[in-house]
Chain A
Amino acid sequence: MSWLTPMVMEVLIAMSQALVILLGALLLGAVMTVVERRLLGLWQDRYGPNRVGPFGSLQLVADMIKILFKEDWIPPFADRALFVLAPVIGMASLLLAFMIIPLTPNWGVADWHIGLLFFFAMAGINVYAVLLGGWSSGNKYALLGAMRATAQTLSYEVFMGLSLMGVVALAGSFNMRDIVAAQQGLWFIVPQFFGFCTFLIAGVAVTHRHPFDQPEAEQELADGYHIEYAGMKFGMFFIGEYIGMVLVSALIVTLFFGGWLGPWLPPFVWFALKTAALLVLFVLLRASLPRPRYDRMMSFGWRVCLPLTLINLLVTGAAILLLAPAGT
């Protein structure tokens, strides 16, 4: 066939890889909803959903059927356009951020030199999902939740960016593959331990996961910004949260745990294992930690984490300069 030139083949392979990664991320996010419930059950000395299928494995199917057949209701007092747009932004921005994550040396969607910055951009856009969702719902609880979420995400994004600058400085590149390659000898969690701690905290906060889920605090705000959402629109917010969890786990693996690097096993298995371990850590955080008061969380972000990242960045910079060969 004449049109099947090597270039076309390359494009087709890249497209199929992108599709597989997209579907994989989506599916993993959906599966996490059930896995989380089983794990929470395990740690709370109960079973969790175990009735549908062997060990509850078909619970996901049941949940999907249920949520797809729910009435897709838009409250009459809501701002229709924004109300529909918000969950789309929420899910799409996080899914798009998967582009930059290299799964194996050959697998990955985009190999950009701005790599990491793209994630920050998408995390920034993700704020709009919550903000617009809360605003357009025309509900005071939703608005309060959205306000909290915005303030929280903005203040945690400040040091999320800074916490990764140490990694970028060590690797000398924003490109994710370069960052992984730079961890050949030593994973960045060792030299950048405080960067890891602060990025983990910021990642949990940005995905609104448990210790930092004030925006959706069930007890005070009755679910916060997505209180008026039903059916698949709620599902998109819900799955979006889990996709964010998978995304942050994969990012932490890439940035601090050497991505696909590891002995004996094939690269993808290492990547998957590390990501799974971090996902379990996310669930464990939810299972064990109580939700702090809102003002305490903000003051923790500004008064502890931000100075910590700044000091970390300063020390990293000084160390790089001191250890650099003279004359370069």
Chain B
Amino acid sequence: MFTSLISGTWSQLRTLGMVFLHAFRRRETVNYPDEEVYLPPRFRGRIVLTRDPDGEERCVACNLCAVACPVDCIALEKGEKEDGRWYPSSFRINFSRCIYCGMCEEACPTSAIQLTPDFEMSEYRRQDLVYEKEDLQIDGPGKDHDYHFYKVAGLAIAGKDKGQGPDEAAPVDVKTLLP
């Protein structure tokens, strides 16, 4: 009992000393509004809609992001251009619901929806946190600089038929294979 008492007391005193020495350590907190916070490039913050390298909207209104969203904060409607391309005629993200999980970004087949290192989007009114398409759309390609969905998708749209993309083979005529 005496040995455990002495070793226990020593352990407590050692703890006191170690914690006291933390007085001379660097403080880990950042005085945020006064000092800038470093956000890594892959930080999951405000969601944006990007454009492809040609400056066209990447989003093809496939609704995969809305399906993947665990809190159902994404809502969009499909529109179709004359050349056959789909685009979202409206795109709405309710950031008061969004949990910034990044599932939409993972689900997106065209790299259109992306999360950016920005979290300073506080509002006094909750309604102001509902972002419409014009609030979400940016001019650049975001993180994925060269990706152009329609060039690699093998899909026939106006001005590009099947098999005319960079890495595409000409479509196989399945009927000629018949005996």
Binding site for B on A (CB under 8 A): 41-47, 50, 284-285, 287-289, 304
Query: Could you tell me if B31 and A47 are in contact, using CB atoms closer than 8 angstroms?
Result: yes
Query: Could you tell me if B27 and A46 are in contact, using CB atoms closer than 8 angstroms?
Result: yes
**Residues of chain A lying within 8 A (CB to CB) of residue B18:** 288
Query: Could you tell me if B22 and A44 are in contact, using CB atoms closer than 8 angstroms?
Result: yes
Interface members, chain B 6-23 (any A CB < 8 Å): 12, 15-16, 18-20, 22-23
- Taking a contact as CB atoms closer than 8 A, the residue among A43, A47, A285 that contacts B23 in the complex is A43
* B25 beta carbon closer than 8 Å to chain A: yes
Query: Could you tell me if A304 and B5 are in contact, using CB atoms closer than 8 angstroms?
Result: yes
- Taking a contact as CB atoms closer than 8 A, the residue among B16, B25, B28, B31 that contacts A288 in the complex is B16
Q: Min CB distance, A146 to chain B, in Å? A: 28
Give the interface SS of chain B, mostly helix, strand, loop or mixed: helix
**Residues of chain A lying within 8 A (CB to CB) of residue B20:** 43, 284, 288
Query: Could you tell me if A288 and B27 are in contact, using CB atoms closer than 8 angstroms?
Result: no
The chain B residue with its CB closest to the CB of A46 is B29
Query: Could you tell me if B29 and A47 are in contact, using CB atoms closer than 8 angstroms?
Result: yes
Query: Could you tell me if A45 and B19 are in contact, using CB atoms closer than 8 angstroms?
Result: no
Besides the known contacts A45-B29, A288-B19, 4 further A-B residue pairs in the complex with CB atoms under 8 A apart: A42-B27, A44-B22, A45-B28, A287-B19
**Residues of chain B lying within 8 A (CB to CB) of residue A289:** 12, 15-16
The chain A residue with its CB closest to the CB of B15 is A288
A284-B16, A288-B15, A289-B12 as given contacts; A42 in contact with B29, CB under 8 Å: no
Query: Could you tell me if B31 and A45 are in contact, using CB atoms closer than 8 angstroms?
Result: no
**Residues of chain B lying within 8 A (CB to CB) of residue A287:** 19
* B26 beta carbon closer than 8 Å to chain A: yes
**Residues of chain B lying within 8 A (CB to CB) of residue A44:** 22
Query: Could you tell me if A42 and B22 are in contact, using CB atoms closer than 8 angstroms?
Result: yes
The chain A residue with its CB closest to the CB of B25 is A45
**Residues of chain B lying within 8 A (CB to CB) of residue A304:** 5
Q: List 21 A-B contacts (CB under 8 A).
A: A41-B27, A42-B22, A42-B23, A43-B19, A43-B22, A43-B23, A44-B22, A45-B22, A45-B28, A45-B29, A46-B28, A47-B29, A47-B31, A284-B16, A284-B20, A285-B16, A288-B15, A288-B19, A288-B20, A289-B15, A289-B16
**Residues of chain A lying within 8 A (CB to CB) of residue B5:** 304
**Residues of chain B lying within 8 A (CB to CB) of residue A45:** 22, 25-29
**Residues of chain A lying within 8 A (CB to CB) of residue B28:** 45-46
